[in-house]
Amino acid sequence: MANFCLVIQYDGTRYNGWQRQGNTSDTIQEKLENILAYLYGEPVELNGSGRTDAGVHALRQIANYRVPRIVSRYSCREILDYFNRYLPQDIRILSVIKAPDRFHARLSATSKTYEYRIDCGPIARVFDRKYLYRIEEPLNLPKMQEAAALMTGPHDFRSFCANRHMKKSTVRTIYDISFAEQDGVLSIRYRGDGFLYNMVRILTGTLIEVGLGDRLPSQVAAALEHQDRSLAGFTAPAQGLFLTEVEYPEELFS
């Protein structure tokens, strides 16, 4: 089998998330798989590095697919051009490379980075409003950083998962949470080994509540300890969230 890796960028505004669903055709995965089916003349399954929610964007989503070598007659450049010729303008393939046989976009990933963007300037931004969450009140950044420090490391993040009936492990490791502010936009970057359903958005909602003074940093520790969703903050809206990077072991592509 030939194994191809795709680097994908998309505006998730009008899509019902990454994952193919039975009740809608408006998913990123289905749009891509439809084009692959036309290209190869048979159904092709695409593996994404993660399932971004409805309305969430990606600067660098990673996916891979395998096809029998006998039908793998197209070059990476031809595959790239074919995708970008037929994809809607809010989805682009940035690159296509031949991947090692053992590469899997999700299972091989060592870390993922998400960025949440908040418009907290004095005047709401007009042209970026679909990609930012607007906060009118000032945010206490030092308090948010204090709370973020409690979130880093390995924890059971059940309190920060929207799936109340999660049967698999909810333990994840957040390697780093960093903050950057420029021109009235506050960006919060989360780098970890994986994230649960809505986890980044709930973490962000919790940090926003801390920044607004509606929640104490110490309450973050309590939420982690008691594993109760009601003890964490609200789920921040999808439009401010971007998948920015997925990392893999270098030896896979050496």
Active site residues: 53
Cα separation, 254 vs 206, whole angstroms:
40
Helices (H), 67-216: 76-86, 141-151, 199-211
**Upper half-sphere CA count for residue 103 (Cβ side, 13 Å):** 28
Cα separation, 123 vs 102, whole angstroms:
50
One-letter identity of residue 88? P
Taking CB atoms within 8 Å and a gap of at least 24, the contacts of 213-216 are 213/140, 213/143, 215/147
Q: What DSSP state is assigned to residue 123? A: S
Cα separation, 35 vs 23, whole angstroms:
19
